[in-house]
């Protein structure tokens, strides 16, 4: 009897597993070409993309938006949720912005997903063609504000996997007011001299994982702004760029803090900074707590380890003030490599709110094949293991 049951049972189990692993088989798919998109690099395909999105978003079953091979010209586009079910957004092609940078540069966003709960974006290349825009900025001409390339705002349960972002006008990828966001296997590229082309900026978001990604750009590879909580960054290669930063924080008197951040198993190559916490020198109720920077390699990095609480770029509203941002529980562990400046570790904390609970463990950073130096101000904590440069706390 048992034998008679087990065979059909196995088949049922197999097909259930099969559909769980291959949801695309059962999923209705909305191919953008069916709604008029053309992969010729010239035809404006914004409307067909929106049509495919609204059909997928309105589908009661899990649905897919599919972008086949080809190059699609897209203007500013917002994929609004909430949707009726989970969406898969599969890109086999390349999305490009119009050649004239004014076209996307005035609205702040190029590709925006807003208020979507449950979205997986796979593959693809997006190219904002920012060169003309950077040149305008560099010449100090009259330029638009610039567009972020791809953004998720007020979203939850997001997966972004395998995307390449090229030549963003401004920030490549932003995650704002979102939760449970997984970013993996992405590639970001812009030249080191392209202004303010940060790789990824997270703000007011919780549960964000960034892994197995390669970021080379003109500003921070990753910046965690106020309200970034429960952030895990692993296996990221950064360079060129300004490193991985927490901040700038404390620009405003009332600001959400940053907590529970881990940056691990990552490599920085010829970056301006390695890992950094940066706050404005002015009053604020913000904080940074429970941060782990560990298992990091620095290759010819300007400031490998840095806490700077004296940020005052414009010179107005902050000089001779001190930062209100309270920094506590920051660990730097298992960090090795080379610094291009004599001071490889600078812990420059606020005079009114000292840094507390700093842990230094097994650090070996050399400068010109010799030991590097360190600088500490208002920083308190403990050190153990190898310490090159020496502990200055």
Ligand X SMILES: *[C@@H]1O[C@H](CO)[C@@H](O)[C@H](O)[C@H]1NC(C)=O
Q: What is the closest distance, in whole angstroms, from the C-beta atom of residue 52 to ligand X in the complex?
A: 36
Interface with ligand X, residue 388, by CB under 6 A: yes
Whether 193 and 241 have beta carbons less than 8 Å apart is answered as no
Note whether 386 binds ligand X by CB under 6 A.
yes
Tell me whether residue 353 is one of the annotated catalytic residues.
no
> Tokens 């960034």 label which residue?
210
Query: CA dist 129 to 100, 144, 166, 384, Å?
Result: 9, 15, 7, 48
Out of 229, 276, 294, 346, the only residue in the binding site for ligand X (CB under 6 A) is: 229
Among 46, 85, 230, 300, binds ligand X (CB under 6 A): 230
Buried b (16+ CB within 10 A) or exposed e, 208-223: bbbbebbbbbbbbbbb
Residues 6+ apart with CB under 8 A from 95: 67, 71, 72, 74, 111, 124, 125, 126, 127
Residue 362 in contact with ligand X, rule: CB under 6 A: no
In this structure, are strands 87-91 and 71-73 parallel, antiparallel, or unpaired? unpaired
Distance CA 281, CA 320 (A): 8
374 is a site residue for ligand X (CB under 6 A): no
> Least Å distance between CB 335 and ligand X?
11
Specify the residue, 33 or 230, whose C-beta has the smaller distance to ligand X: 230
Binders of ligand X among residues 278 to 317 (CB under 6 A) are 290
Between residues 61 and 386, which has the closer beta carbon with respect to ligand X?
Answer: 386
Instruction: Name the residue nearer to ligand X (CB basis): 192 or 269.
Output: 269
Q: How many residues bind ligand X (CB under 6 A)?
A: 9
Beta carbons within 8 Å of 282's beta carbon, 6+ residues apart: 250, 251, 312, 317, 318, 321, 323, 324
- Give least dist CB 230 to ligand X, A: 5
Report d(CA 49, CA 76) in Å as an integer: 11
Site string for ligand X, 246-275 (x = CB under 6 A): -------------xx---------------
Among 329, 366, 377, 380, binds ligand X (CB under 6 A): 366
Among the listed residues 170, 172, 176, 242, the single catalytic one is: 242
Binding flag, residue 226, ligand X (CB under 6 A): no
- What's the rounded Cα separation, in Å, for the pair 185 and 165? 12
Q: Which residues of 61-83 are buried (b: 16+ CB within 10 A; e: fewer)?
A: ebbbbbbeebbbbbebbebebeb
- Report the residue number, 194 or 364, with the smaller CB distance to ligand X: 364
In the bound state with ligand X, the residue whose beta carbon lies nearer, of 83 and 263, is: 263
Q: Give the footprint of ligand X on this chain (CB under 6 A).
A: 229-230, 259-260, 290, 364, 366, 386, 388
Active-site positions read 242
């Amino acid at each position: 009897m048992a034998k008679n049951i087990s065979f059909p049972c196995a088949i049922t189990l197999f097909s259930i597993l099969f559909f769980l692993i291959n949801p695309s088989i059962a999923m209705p798919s909305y191919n953008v070409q069916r709604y008029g998109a053309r992969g010729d690099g010239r035809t404006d395909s914004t409307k067909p993309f929106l049509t495919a999105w609204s059909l997928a978003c309105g589908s009661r079953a899990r649905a897919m938006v599919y972008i086949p091979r080809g190059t699609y010209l897209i203007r500013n586009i917002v994929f609004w949720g909430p949707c009726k079910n989970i969406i898969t957004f599969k890109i086999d092609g390349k999305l490009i912005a119009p050649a004239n940078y004014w076209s996307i540069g005035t609205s702040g966003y190029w590709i925006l997903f807003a208020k979507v709960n449950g979205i997986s974006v796979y593959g693809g290349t997006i190219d904002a063609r920012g060169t003309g825009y950077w040149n305008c900025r560099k010449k100090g001409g009259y330029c638009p504000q610039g567009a972020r390339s791809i953004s998720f705002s007020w979203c939850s349960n997001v997966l972004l996997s395998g995307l390449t972002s090229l030549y963003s006008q401004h920030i490549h990828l932003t995650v704002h007011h979102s939760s449970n966001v997984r970013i993996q296997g992405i590639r970001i590229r812009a030249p080191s001299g392209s202004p303010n082309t940060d790789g990824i900026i997270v703000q007011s978001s919780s549960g964000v994982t960034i892994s197995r990604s390669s970021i080379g750009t003109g500003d921070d590879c990753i910046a965690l702004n106020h309200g970034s909580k429960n952030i895990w960054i692993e296996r990221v290669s950064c360079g060129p760029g300004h490193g991985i930063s927490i901040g700038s924080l404390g620009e405003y008197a009332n600001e959400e803090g940053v907590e529970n951040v881990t940056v691990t198993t990552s490599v920085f190559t010829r970056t301006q900074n390695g890992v950094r916490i940066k706050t404005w020198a002015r009053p604020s109720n913000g904080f940074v707590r429970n941060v782990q920077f560990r298992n990091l390699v620095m290759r010819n990095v300007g400031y490998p380890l840095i806490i700077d609480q004296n940020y005052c770029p414009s010179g107005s509203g902050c000089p001779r003030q001190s930062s209100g941002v309270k920094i506590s529980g920051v660990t730097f562990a298992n960090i090795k490599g080379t610094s291009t400046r004599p001071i490889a570790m600078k812990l420059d904390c606020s005079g009114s709110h000292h840094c507390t609970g700093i842990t230094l463990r097994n650090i070996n950073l050399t400068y010109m094949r010799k030991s590097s130096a360190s600088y500490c101000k208002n920083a308190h904590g403990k050190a153990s293991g190898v310490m090159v440069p020496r502990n200055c706390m």
